[in-house]
Amino acid sequence: MALRPILSSLRHHKLTAGLLVLQVALTLAIVANAAFMVAQRLQRIHTPSGLAEQQLSLIRVEGTAKDENHEARHAADLDTLRRIPGVQAAVAVGWALPFSSSVNSYGVCPNEEALKRAMAASSLDHSGCLSIDTYSGSQGFLQALGLRVIAGRDFTPDEYVTGDVPAIMLTRAAARKFFGDKDPLGQVVFAGKHSSRVVGIVSDVVRPMLRGDGSDGEVMLWPQLPDDNETTYLLRSAPADRDRVLAAAATALQALDPDRLIPEAGRRTYTQMREDYFQRDTTMIGLLLSAGLGLLFVTALGVAGLANFWVQQRTRTIGIRRAIGATRTDILRYFQAENFLIVGGGVVLGMVLALILNLLLMSRYELPRLPVWYLPTGALALWALGQLSVLAPALRASRVPPVVATRSV
């Protein structure tokens, strides 16, 4: 089909066509970036924690009397919790856990030289030392969380203490960061002046607050018993039992000591905890999706609206063309080709705009670079959208009878 008549006709509608081009371009730029952000956030909220999340729930106890013996209190509480039917494991845990939004991190050096370097430079930077996120808990917390020892050994019962710990475990990522290819087992690390031995490597688990920079698996575990006025207990049960177990645990713990507080907000299954942690992302996904769809809708309306006008405006011209031999298909194709050209112009401009917008977002919101394949995909989608929205007006144009040409307006 000859494009020349279309182009020369478009030259008469430079402005209207130009505006449509701009609209398509802006839509592509925004929608491509919004789609990319949705993909990013989706990936984020599906980050595996490494825990047996489906089976875990947490209960927080506050306001323990200040002069109480915490260890004895925990032992009594845990004993009670383990007797609840359906509870497979119960442990006390530190305040930081994956997706808990609380962080417990320590500056740790892989050897004494690194420690000296850090001390001399008064900084952890470039010393080989690392501020590392740490999880702790009472005896058996690894197994209760659903973590496995993949090399070395588990903590022994006498290694669980309230102060400085004699032994630690690292994830593979943390071990690689500290020791490179060296065997981490048996190495001694320094947390301040205190040293601990690496006794095992634990299966992958993510840090409490994700950074998304590839370092989320750098985690240390240590056998430190909680020693606060506020304690969190972790319960493991069958997924379906979790709500019942949590309610039973609250009643049982309250019965042990009527004075303390077990707030409703401190009773959560791990599923709820994950949802709370990613709440922001879920909201953002919803917003981005509705904005993107809204934009596409508005653009489709714009295309359809303009095409409608042009069909009305050119009714007589169409009649003449039909009268001198153009088929219905010719008319239909004409409008489709015209739309294809306009959207094509918009798409080319839009791809450039999308990249510029992405650069802007990268500098302001730490968004990664837009993968190139988003651009042709978005372009195809807009082309398809354009063709769909022009179809109805174009069909109407093709049904204009040739006799129109003979009538005066």
Which of 279, 327, 329, 377: binder of another protein (CB under 8 A)?
279
- Which segments of 232-269 does DSSP mark as H helices, in order? 242-256
Sole window of 135-143, 165-173, 287-295, 323-331 interacting with another protein (rule: CB under 8 A): 287-295
CA angle, residues 79, 83, 84, in degrees to nearest 5: 125
Q: Interacting stretch for another protein, rule CB under 8 A, among 72-80, 114-122, 321-329, 368-376? A: 114-122
Minimum distance from residue 283 beta carbon to another protein (Å): 6
**Which residues touch 350 (CB under 8 Å, ≥6 apart)?**
24, 25, 26, 27, 28, 29, 32, 378, 379, 382
123 binds another protein (CB under 8 A): yes
Contact call for residue 30 and another protein (CB under 8 A) = yes
Part of the chain binding another protein (CB under 8 A), chosen from 3-11, 70-78, 309-317, 323-331: 309-317
As measured in angstroms, the least distance from the Cβ of 121 to another protein is 8
Tell me the closest approach of the beta carbon of residue 115 to another protein, in angstroms. Answer: 8
SS3 151: strand
List the one residue from 287, 372, 384, 403 that touches another protein (CB under 8 A). 287
3 to 22, contacts with another protein by CB under 8 A?
Answer: 15-16, 19-20, 22
Contacting residue, 135, 310, 334, 335, with another protein by CB under 8 A: 310
Supply φ then ψ for residue 126, to 5 degrees: 60, 10
Paired sense of beta strands 167-171 and 105-108, if any: unpaired
Gap between the terminal Cα atoms of the chain: 30
Nearest approach in angstroms of CB 29 to another protein is: 8
71 binds another protein (CB under 8 A): no
Choose between 79 and 276: whose C-beta lies nearer to another protein.
276
Nearer to another protein, 185 or 295 (CB): 295
DSSP, residue by residue, 275-329? HHHTHHHHHHHHHHHHHHHHHHHHHHHHHHHHHHHHHHHTHHHHHHHHHTT--HH
Site track 312-331 with another protein (rule: CB under 8 A), x = hit: xx------------------
Give the Å distances, CA to CA, from 383 to 53, 138, 269, 403.
44, 60, 46, 33
| Three-point CA angle 89, 76, 268, nearest 5° | 50
Rounded to whole angstroms, the Cα distance separating 252 from 245 reads 10
Which of 86, 107, 128, 239 touches another protein by CB under 8 A? 107
Binders of another protein among residues 140 to 169 (CB under 8 A) are 163
| Helix, strand, coil percentages for the chain (3-state, nearest 5) | 55, 15, 30
- Measured torsion, CA atoms of residues 269, 274, 276, 279, in degrees rounded to the nearest 10: -150
User: Checking DSSP bridges between strand 194-202 and strand 167-171, what pairing results, if any?
Assistant: parallel
Q: Which residues bind another protein (CB under 8 A)?
A: 15-16, 19-20, 22-23, 26-27, 30, 34, 62-63, 66, 107, 115, 118-119, 122-124, 163, 192, 209, 211, 228-229, 259, 261, 263, 276, 279-280, 283-284, 287-288, 291, 294-295, 298-299, 301-302, 305-306, 308-310, 312-313, 365-366, 409
